């Protein structure tokens, strides 16, 4: 069963587990889609393409509408630069922001310290191994560990560094939940409505199976944004029917 995480600002009440990835090219397309949704149905994720196209204005507009926004820019830079970026994210009012755990402990600790004094700070999430990567892809980067071991290593490093959770595939969720505890956030992309459709993802899982495995949040893009009835689909996922 999906654990209920409690926090004075973000987890006063149980929330939908779905984070909708807004993989649109511009602000106009994004807002046209978001008009169908409401904050009680889902959280929203803004990634590199949309943020590059629309910038801070769109993020703040969605926050003003009451949505919890996951700013998915996967920071990976020197500690001072990442810390400064996380401060800006906090000032924008984002709910969650991520960084590559492979950036190291000093980088992650600097990020955690940078937002520690904000009354409503964003959750800081470490990216472990991208769900698009296979074992062969990982080997090409010079990492000889099996994917699961590398995910566990980076997740442990993120926890030691003061982060709130990690991005991982749902296939690693049970292992991480057991090792890192019930309050550790597990944000899982690669969620599909059919395991026969992978797109650019490789380590995938169905929504109800991912939640049963221990995922806290499910990142879903095209299955929802290309759906004929995204509201109905979100309601079905939230009710554990899919």
Question: Active-site positions?
Answer: 74
> Does 159 fall in a domain?
yes
> Does 6 fall in a domain?
no
CATH number at residue 37: 3.20.20.70
Q: Which residues contact 191 (CB under 8 A, 6 or more apart)?
A: 170, 204, 205, 206, 207, 210, 218, 219, 220, 223
What proportions of the chain, in percent to the nearest 5, are helix, strand and coil? 45, 15, 40
Angle between helices 105-115 and 147-160 (to 10 degrees): 40
> Does 1 fall in a domain?
no
Residue 161: the pLDDT is 98
> Does 151 fall in a domain?
yes
Task: Determine the Cα–Cα distance for residues 91 and 60; give it in Å rounded to an integer.
Answer: 10
> Does 103 fall in a domain?
yes
3-state secondary structure (DSSP) of residue 43: strand
Q: Which residues are 166's β-sheet partners?
A: 126, 186
> Does 13 fall in a domain?
no
- What's the DSSP call for residue 205? B
Q: What is the pLDDT of residues 32-53, one digit of tens each?
A: 999 999 999 999 999 999 999 9
> Does 7 fall in a domain?
no
Domain around 60: 18-235
Q: What is the pLDDT of residues 197-229, one digit of tens each?
A: 555 555 579 999 999 999 999 999 999 999 999
Domain count within the chain: 1
Which phi-psi region, left, alpha or beta, contains residue 52 (left: φ > 0; alpha: ψ -120 to 50)?
alpha
Q: What is the pLDDT of residues 120-173, one digit of tens each?
A: 999 999 999 998 899 999 999 999 999 999 999 999 999 999 999 999 989 999
> Does 181 fall in a domain?
yes
Q: What is the pTM of this model?
A: 0.90
């Amino acid at each position: 069963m999906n654990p209920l995480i409690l926090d004075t600002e973000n987890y006063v009440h149980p929330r939908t587990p779905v984070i909708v990835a807004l993989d649109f090219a511009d602000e106009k397309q994004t807002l046209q889609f978001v008009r169908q949704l409401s904050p009680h149905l889902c959280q929203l994720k803004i990634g590199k393409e949309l943020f590059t196209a629309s910038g801070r204005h769109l993020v703040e507009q969605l926050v003003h509408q009451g949505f919890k926004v996951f700013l998915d820019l996967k920071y990976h830079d020197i500690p001072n630069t990442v810390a400064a970026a996380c401060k800006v994210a906090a000032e924008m009012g984002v709910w969650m922001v991520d960084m590559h755990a492979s950036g190291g402990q000093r980088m992650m600790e600097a990020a955690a310290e940078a937002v520690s004094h904000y009354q409503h700070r964003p959750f800081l999430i470490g990216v472990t191994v991208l769900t698009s990567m296979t074992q062969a892809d990982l080997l090409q980067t010079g990492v000889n560990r099996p994917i699961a071991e590398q995910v566990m290593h980076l997740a442990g490093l993120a926890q030691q560094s003061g982060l709130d959770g990690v991005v991982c595939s749902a296939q690693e969720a049970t292992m991480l939940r057991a090792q890192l505890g019930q309050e550790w956030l597990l944000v899982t992309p690669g969620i599909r409505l059919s395991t026969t459709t992978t797109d650019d993802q490789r380590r995938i899982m169905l929504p109800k199976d991912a939640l049963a495995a221990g995922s806290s949040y499910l990142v879903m893009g095209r299955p929802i944004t290309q759906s004929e009835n995204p509201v109905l689909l979100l309601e079905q996922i939230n009710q554990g029917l899919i």
